[in-house]
Structure 1
Amino acid sequence: HPPFFPLLQPPLVQAIFNRNVDEVKLFLHKKDEVNALDQERRTPLHAAAWLGDVHIMELLISAGANVNAKDHVWLTPLHRAAASRNERAVGLLLRKGADVTARDKFWQTPLHIAAANRATRCVEALLPHVSSLNMADRTGRAPLHHAAQSGFQEMVKLLLNRGANLSASDKKDRQSIHWAAYLGHLEVVKLLVSQGSDKSCKDKRGYTPLHAAAASGHVDVVKYLLRNGAEQTPSHIIRCICFIQGIHGMFPLHLAVLYGSSDCCRKLLSSGTHNFSLYSDQLQQGPNENGFAECLNLCLSTRTPLHYAAANGRYQCVVVLVGAGAEVNERDRSGCIPLHYSAASTAFCRCVEHLLDNGAAPSLCNTKGYSAVHYAAAHGNKQNLELVRLIFTLMLSTVIFFFLHFRTIKHLIHASYFVLDSVAFGDVLQHASRQGEQRVCQPTALGGKYKMSRQKSAALILKEMTFPLSFCCQVESGHWECVTVLIESGAYVDACDPVGRSVLYVASQKGHARCVELLLCQSASFLSRDFQGRTAVHLAASCGHADILSNLLSAADHSHPHDPITDRHGYTPAHWAAYHGHEDCLDVLLELKPCSIQEGNPFTPLHCALINGHSGSAELLLESSVCNSLVNIRDAKGRTPLHAAAVAEDVAGLQLVLRHGADINAVDHSGRSALMVAADNGQSGAVALLLHRAKADLSLLDVNKNTALHLACSKAHEMCAMLILKEIHNPILINATNSMLQMPLHIAARNGLATVVQALLNRGATVLAVDEEGHTPALACASNKAVADCLALILSTMKPSSSTPSSSSPSSPSLNLLKHCGITAACPPLPNGGLRHGYGKDRHGATIGLDGYLTE
C-alpha cells in the first residue's frame, strides 16, 4: 500500500503522525476539515488507522470523520488498520460502522489484507462481521490463498478452523497448496495436506503443487510431496504424482531442470527408479523396472528434461540427468537433440563438452537439415539463418560458423565434424571420430573415396571454407581468437561470400580491429570488392571506424599507392565518411589520402556532408587546403554545395558555405537556385535565411518558368510561400505565369492554401487570368479538369437577378468570369428562371446576384 509521507501532509495529519493529541484537538477546534484529502485522496482517519492510535481515531470520528472514506486505490481506514495489524483500531472502526465488505481496486476486503499481513487478531475481530470466508479478489484468490502465500501457519489454521474452503481456486485454478508449495512454505503445505488438501490438484496449465515446488527449487517441499504422493491401487499400478503431466506434457522434472534446480532434479529422479509406469493420452504401460528412463525420454511434446537443461545451460542438471541414464541423442518433435540447443550459445560450453563426452552425435541433423554446428554458428537465431540461405541461395549445409564462438568451435573441431561448401563439394562430410582414427569420406559431387587422418581432413576443409572467417568477424563481440585458430589451421584469408564480401570487408564493417590486424598480417587483400564495388576501406569509413581505416590506408599506401578507391557509383571512402558525418574518419583521410577528397563522383564529399546536415564534417572539409576551392563546385546535375545545404535545411551548413563565398544565385541544370530548392522541399528555415540574410533573387525562373513562389505553392508549403510573399516588392512577380500559364494564385487555390490565397489577393493578384486549360484561379480549386468544367457549366447557368441590373451589365465581373470559363455562350438559361429561385434571395429577403453569391 502507498506509504504516508508526514512532511508532505497537512498540519492536522502531521499532528496525527506526531501522536500529539493536544495539537489534533486544537486543529479540530479551529474547524480544520476532518475529511480533507491529501494528494492520494487519503483522509486524516486513514493516517490514524495506519498508526493504530485509537484515541486520535475517536477524536476524528467524533468530529465527523468518514469511517468508510476511500483513497485513490479505494482503501478504507479499515484496510489500513488491518494492514498495520492493529486489532484495537480494527475493533473501533467496526464499532463505528466501518464496512467490512469494502473492496479496494483489486477487490480485496480488509479480511484479505489482514490474512496477507499475518494479522491474526485482526482476522479474529473481522470474522464475526463477514458473511463468507471465501470471497474472491480480482485474481480469484480467497483469504486462505493470501494466508498460504504469507507462509503464516497460524493464520492458515485459523481460517480453516472457521470454515474456509480448502479447495477454493483462483482464476488460474490454483489452490492454496499451489502457492504454499511454490513459495516454499513447507509447514503450511503439511498443514494443508493434513487437512485433506489434494496433493494432485491441477491448475489450468495442468501443474500440480509438485510442479510448483520443482519450478521454484524448494527441494524440502518436493521431498515431502514425493513421500506423501504415492498411492497403491488394487490393479497393482503405482501412480506417482511426479508423473502427472502439465501443459506441453511437462513433468515436474521438466520444470526442475528448466529453472535449474539440480537438487530437485536429483530428488525427482531418485523417486522414480523402481516400479512405476508412465500414463498419458498416448501411452499406457504396466509396471516397468526401467520406467524411470521412459519418464526422462518421453512426453507429449517429445522434448525431454535433458533438452530443457541443455537449452538453458543448467550444467549440474545435465550432469545429473546424463548420469541417471538420459538418452543424449533423443530427438524432440523437430528432430533436435539436446546438443542442438546447448550449442546455440557461448554460455553453455560446459554442457556442450559434457554432452560430447557422453556420446552426443554432432552429425545428427534435425528435420530441417540443421546440425549442432549450424546451431552453434547461428547463435540460435533461425530467422538469420533463413535470411542468409535466401540471399546466398545455397544449401543449408553451407551456412556454417555464423556467429561462431571460440570455445564452442574448439569442442566441435575436437569432435572432428566439419561442413564443406556445397558449391565446391556438394554435400556434408564427416571426418574422423573424436578419438582421431581414419574414416572414409565420400564427397557426392566428386564421387571419389578418400582416406585421410583427422589433421589432414581438417586442413583441407579449412582451406576451402569460405564462410567461417567471414562470419566469425561479424559477431558483435569480435571473435579474434576464433580467427586465429582458423588462420593457423590454414583458412583462406581472401575468401569471399557469394556477394563478394571478403573476410576483411566484414571485419572492417563490424569494427573488429583485432581481426583486421590479424588479417592484414596475413596479407589479406583490402581491394576485394562486393557486388556494389565497395572495399573494406569504404566500409570502415562508412561505419566510422577511424583506427581500422588508418590501418587499411597505411596498407594501401604500401601496395597500391596511386590506385583510386571508388565503388561502382564513383564514391570514395571520403564520400561515405562525409555522408555519415564521421569527422574522425575524414581527419584520417585528409592526413593519409588527401587527394581522394577530389576523386570520384562529382557529387563531392562536401555535398554529401551538407545534404545530411553534417555541418561539422563540411567545415572540416572547407577549412582543409585541399577543399577550400570546392565551395562552388558543381555535381553532374549542376548542383552546388549550397543546393545540398538548402535541401537539408541545415542553417549552420548554409551559413558555413555562404561565409566561404558560395554563390547565392547559382542555378543547377534545371534552372533552380538554392532558394528555389529550399522552397520546393518546404525548408522554411533555409528560405528565411536565404531571403533575409543572403538576399536571394526572387525573379529567377527554372526551366518551366516557375519562380520560388510557384514552387512553394505547388508543394503546399504555406510557410515558405508566406515568407517569399513578404519579400516580394515587384507586382509583376505576383501575377507571373509559368509555362502552363499558371500564376501562384492558381496553384495556391488548387492546393487549398487559404492564407496564401488571401495574401495574393491583397497584393493584387488577378482572379480573371486563365491557364492553358482556360481555367481561372476559382476553377483551379476543382480537383481535376472534369470537375472544373462541371463547375464552370453550373456557374454559367446562374443568371444575375433582375433586381441587380448592374450585375448584368457588359462590364459585370460575373459575366467576365463566365466568359473566361469558355462555355458561357453555349449554355442557354434554364427554364422558369433556373437557379434564380434557389439563390435569388438570402435568408433575410435581400437579393443576391451571382457576384454576391460568390462573395458570400
Structure 2
Amino acid sequence: MWLASRSLPTTVLGSVCADGNDGSDGALAVHGQASCCLGFVDLRDLEFSYQFPKDSEKRTPLHVAAFLGDAEIIELLILSGARVNAKDNMWLTPLHRAVASRSEEAVQVLIKHSADVNARDKNWQTPLHVAAANKAVRCAEVIIPLLSSVNVSDRGGRTALHHAALNGHVEMVNLLLAKGANINAFDKKDRRALHWAAYMGHLDVVALLMDHGAEATCKDKKGYTPLHAAASNGQINVVKHLLNLGVEIDEINVYGNTALHLACYNGQDAVVNELTDYGANVNQPNNSGFTPLHFAAASTHGALCLELLVNNGADVNIQSKDGKSPLHMTAVHGRFTRSQTLIQNGGEIDCVDKDGNTPLHVAARYGHELLINTLITSGADTAKCGIHSMFPLHLAALNAHSDCCRKLLSSGFEIDTPDKFGRTCLHAAAAGGNVECIKLLQSSGADFHKKDKCGRTPLHYAAANCHFHCIETLVTTGANVNETDDWGRTALHYAAASDMDRKSKTTLGNAHENSEELERAREVKEKEAALCLEFLLQNDANPALRDKEGYNSIHYAAAYGHRQCLELVSCFVLSCFL
C-alpha cells in the first residue's frame, strides 16, 4: 500500500573523508588530500607504477575528487593511471559521484576521459538517475546527448523521470520531457511519475506532468490513483488540484478503498475535510465491508477524522462483512475517546459481530481497560455471551489482562458463571497461564474446584498448557492433584500429554517447523512440562492412576514423545517400589 511507500530508494551517495589525516574513519588519508595535493607531487613523475588505494568501501581518490568536483585533481589522477570507471562497494563510479555533487565541470572531464554514462550501481541506477534525484540539471544536459534513451529503468523499474518527480525538481522534469522521457512510464508496481509527485505533494510537478498529458486517472497494480497517493500522505494542495480537474472522488483500488478510506486510516484530517466537502461518500464500504468510519475508528491519528465523518452523516452503526461496527474497531485498538464520540452519536453499545462478540468482549480480549470502563459506564452488558458463549471476563482472564478482570468484577458480574462448555473464568485464567489473574479471581471468591462439562478443573487446564506457576498456585490453595475428569484423567495425565509442537509453533508464530528456533522452543516447553510433572509428583500426584482407557501418565508421555517427562515419571514410579 501507499501507507508504507514513503520514498523511492535513490542512490546512496554517502559521505567522504574531506579532511584526511590518519584515515581513522575507514577512508585513507590520501582521499582527503585529493583536492589539495597539486603543487606537492605530480604522480606522473613517479618512476614506479602507482597503485591507487581504496578505503573500506572501495572508493578511490578519483571517487573523492569527483564528489568534491575538483576538475584539476580529476584530470591529474586520470592521467596518472586512475581507472575512470572504478566502482566502489555500491558499484558507484566517479561519474555517479560527480553528478551527485552537481559538478558540471567534473562531469565533463570524466566524460572526456571515456567515463561510462551508462554505468549502473547496485540499484541499476545510471548517472542520469542520480542527476534526476539530485537536481543536477547542468550535468544531465551534458550526459543526455550521449545516451540512446532517457527512459532506462533502475532495479525498481523507475526512470529518471520518476526520480525527478519524486524529488520535486521541476526544471529537471522539464528537461527530461523535452528530451523524450515517457511521461506514462511505470515502475515494477505500475506507478507513474505522477503517482510519486502526487504522493510527495509536489504540486508544480503534478501540474507540469498533467499539462504534458499525464493521465490523472492512471492506476498502479493495486489500483491506486494519484488521488489515492496524495490523500494517503496528506497532500492537501494536490488533492484540491485533482478534485478541481474533476477526477472521480470515490474511485476504488483493488481492496475497494477510496481516497477517503486512506486519508482516514492515516489520520489526514485536512484531506478528509476536503473530500467530504467535495461530496465523497462517507459510507462507501470496501471489499471487506469497512467504511472510512471504521478506518478512522481504528487508526492511530484518526480522532478528528472520525468527528468529521460523524458530523457529515456517517452511519455510526454500519457493520462490515464480519459484523464489526466502528465501535468494535475502537475496542480492538483501544481508542476510548473515539468510542465515547460514537456512543454519544448513537453507537449501539451491545451490537454483536458474526462471532457474537460485543465491543466489550473485544476490549476485554485486547486488554483495553479504559475502553472497558467507558463501555461499562455507558451501560454495556457484562453478562452477554460472545464467541463459544464466553463472557468478557473469560476473555480478559484467558488473555492475562488482570486489570481488565478487576474492572469487570467491579461491575458485579457473577464470578463462577460458566460458558456453554461449563468453563468459568478461573478455567480461562488457568489456560491462559496468568498467576496474577488466578490470584485475583481466587481472592474474589472463584471456586477452583468447579468442573466444566467434561469434568475438568482449572488445574487440568493449567497442566495441559504446562503453566507451572499456575499449577503451583492452584495446588498451594488446595486444588486436588488426583481429581479426575469424565475420562478418568488427572492433571498428571494432561501434563504428560501436552502438545509440545503446537505450543512451540504458537510461541514462535510462523517460524518454519524445521527451524532451529522451533526446536529450541520445543525443548524449552518440554522442560516446562517436566517441571510441572515434577511438582505434581512431589505433591502426591499418583503416576499409577489409569484413565478409563487404561492409560497412565507414563503411557501419555511415551505416546507424545516426551523423553524428559517419560524418564521423570518412570523414575518416580520405580522409586515407589524400592
TM-score by length of 1: 0.52
Question: Residue type of the partner of 1:473?
Answer: A
Distance verdict in 2 for CA 1:72–1:320, change over 3 Å: same
CA distance in 1, matches of 2:120, 2:167: 20
Q: Superposition pairs for residues 72-151 of structure 1, below 5 Å?
A: 72-151=89-168
CA distance in 2, matches of 1:220, 1:70: 42
Q: 2:361 aligned with 1:377, yes or no?
A: yes
Q: Matched residue of 1:90: which SS?
A: helix
Deviation (angstroms), 1:22: 5.7
Q: 2:332 aligned with 1:349, yes or no?
A: no
Unaligned runs of 5+ in 2: 1-11, 18-22, 499-523, 546-552
Q: 2:535 aligned with 1:518, yes or no?
A: no
Q: Superposition pairs for residues 209-228 of structure 1, below 5 Å?
A: 209-227=226-244
Structure 2 partner of 1:287:
none
For residue 413 of structure 2, the aligned residue among 491, 510, 516 is 491
The structure number with the bigger radius of gyration is: 1
For residue 305 of structure 2, the aligned residue among 291, 296, 317 is 317
Deviation (angstroms), 1:182: 0.3
Q: Matched residue of 2:255: which SS?
A: helix
Deviations 1:159-211 (A, max 9, x none): 34444343333333322222111012233334434555443333333332221
Q: Matched residue of 1:249: which SS?
A: coil
Q: Matched residue of 1:212: which SS?
A: helix
For residue 222 of structure 2, the aligned residue among 197, 205, 212 is 205
Q: Is the CA contact (8 Å cut-off) linking 2:264 and 2:292 kept in structure 1?
A: yes
CA distance in 2, matches of 1:96, 1:524: 87
Deviations 1:455-474 (A, max 9, x none): xxxxxxxxxx8644332212
Q: 2:275 aligned with 1:257, yes or no?
A: no
Deviation (angstroms), 1:34: 4.0
CA distance in 1, matches of 2:51, 2:68: 17
Deviation (angstroms), 1:596: 4.8
Q: How many residues align?
A: 514
Structure 2 partner of 1:471:
395
Q: Is the CA contact (8 Å cut-off) linking 2:492 and 2:533 kept in structure 1?
A: no
Question: Residue type of the partner of 1:474?
Answer: L
For residue 244 of structure 1, the aligned residue among 235, 241, 251 is 251
Deviation (angstroms), 1:7: 3.9
For residue 314 of structure 2, the aligned residue among 326, 339, 361 is 326
Q: Matched residue of 1:247: which SS?
A: coil
Deviation (angstroms), 1:305: 1.9
Deviations 1:75-123 (A, max 9, x none): 2221121122222211100111112122223332111111101222222
Deviation (angstroms), 1:149: 1.1
Q: Superposition pairs for residues 380-419 of structure 1, below 5 Å?
A: 402=365, 405-413=368-376, 414-417=378-381
Distance verdict in 2 for CA 1:79–1:333, change over 3 Å: same
Deviation (angstroms), 1:268: 0.9
Distance verdict in 2 for CA 1:44–1:270, change over 3 Å: same
Percent identity of paired positions between Structure 1 and Structure 2: 37
Distance verdict in 2 for CA 1:70–1:4, change over 3 Å: same
Deviations 1:314-363 (A, max 9, x none): 222111111111222334455544334333x1422333332232223355
Structure 2 partner of 1:601:
543
TM-score by length of 2: 0.73
Structure 1 partner of 2:200:
183
For residue 539 of structure 1, the aligned residue among 434, 449, 462 is 462
CA distance in 2, matches of 1:362, 1:122: 64
Deviations 1:537-595 (A, max 9, x none): 9939952438x946x56643xxx9xx7666644749999999846999999x8xxx9x9
Q: Is the CA contact (8 Å cut-off) linking 2:34 and 2:61 kept in structure 1?
A: no
Deviation (angstroms), 1:130: 2.7
Q: Superposition pairs for residues 166-177 of structure 1, below 5 Å?
A: 166-177=183-194
Q: Matched residue of 1:242: which SS?
A: coil
CA distance in 1, matches of 2:539, 2:111: 86
Structure 2 partner of 1:686:
none
Deviation (angstroms), 1:143: 1.5
Distance verdict in 2 for CA 1:466–1:212, change over 3 Å: closer
CA distance in 2, matches of 1:503, 1:362: 23
CA distance in 1, matches of 2:303, 2:27: 58
Structure 2 partner of 1:828:
none
Q: 2:274 aligned with 1:267, yes or no?
A: yes
CA distance in 2, matches of 1:18, 1:330: 68
Unaligned runs of 5+ in 1: 231-239, 273-291, 380-400, 429-464, 619-629, 641-667, 670-856
Question: Residue type of the partner of 2:399?
Answer: V
For residue 358 of structure 1, the aligned residue among 345, 349, 363 is 345
Question: Residue type of the partner of 1:370?
Answer: D
Distance verdict in 2 for CA 1:523–1:247, change over 3 Å: closer
CA distance in 2, matches of 1:242, 1:213: 12
CA distance in 2, matches of 1:336, 1:585: 40
Deviation (angstroms), 1:48: 2.5
Distance verdict in 2 for CA 1:249–1:352, change over 3 Å: same
Structure 1 partner of 2:513:
none
Structure 2 partner of 1:527:
449
Question: Residue type of the partner of 1:526?
Answer: F
CA distance in 1, matches of 2:525, 2:200: 59
Q: Superposition pairs for residues 149-160 of structure 1, below 5 Å?
A: 149-160=166-177
Deviations 1:416-467 (A, max 9, x none): 4566559xxxx99xxxxxxxxxxxxxxxxxxxxxxxxxxxxxxxxxxxx864
Report 1 or 2 for greater relative contact order, CA contacts < 8 Å, sequence distance ≥ 6. 2
Structure 2 partner of 1:503:
425
CA distance in 1, matches of 2:467, 2:171: 66
CA distance in 2, matches of 1:140, 1:564: 66
CA distance in 2, matches of 1:538, 1:171: 52
Q: Is the CA contact (8 Å cut-off) linking 2:118 and 2:126 kept in structure 1?
A: yes
CA distance in 2, matches of 1:95, 1:341: 64
Q: Matched residue of 2:48: which SS?
A: coil
Distance verdict in 2 for CA 1:517–1:186, change over 3 Å: same
Question: Residue type of the partner of 1:338?
Answer: P
Distance verdict in 2 for CA 1:102–1:245, change over 3 Å: same
Q: Matched residue of 1:171: which SS?
A: coil
Deviation (angstroms), 1:402: 4.8
Distance verdict in 2 for CA 1:574–1:120, change over 3 Å: closer
CA distance in 1, matches of 2:348, 2:85: 70
Deviation (angstroms), 1:525: 2.4
Structure 2 partner of 1:786:
none
Q: Greater CA deviation, 107-116 or 575-584?
A: 575-584
Deviation (angstroms), 1:267: 0.7
Q: Greater CA deviation, 331-340 or 109-118?
A: 331-340
Question: Residue type of the partner of 1:131?
Answer: S
Deviation (angstroms), 1:269: 1.0
Structure 2 partner of 1:623:
none
Q: Matched residue of 2:224: which SS?
A: coil
Deviation (angstroms), 1:63: 2.0
Q: Superposition pairs for residues 593-742 of structure 1, below 5 Å?
A: 596-597=538-539, 600-601=542-543, 612=564, 635-636=572-573, 638=574
CA distance in 1, matches of 2:544, 2:424: 28
CA distance in 2, matches of 1:474, 1:176: 51
CA distance in 1, matches of 2:182, 2:481: 85
Structure 1 partner of 2:326:
338
Deviation (angstroms), 1:124: 2.6
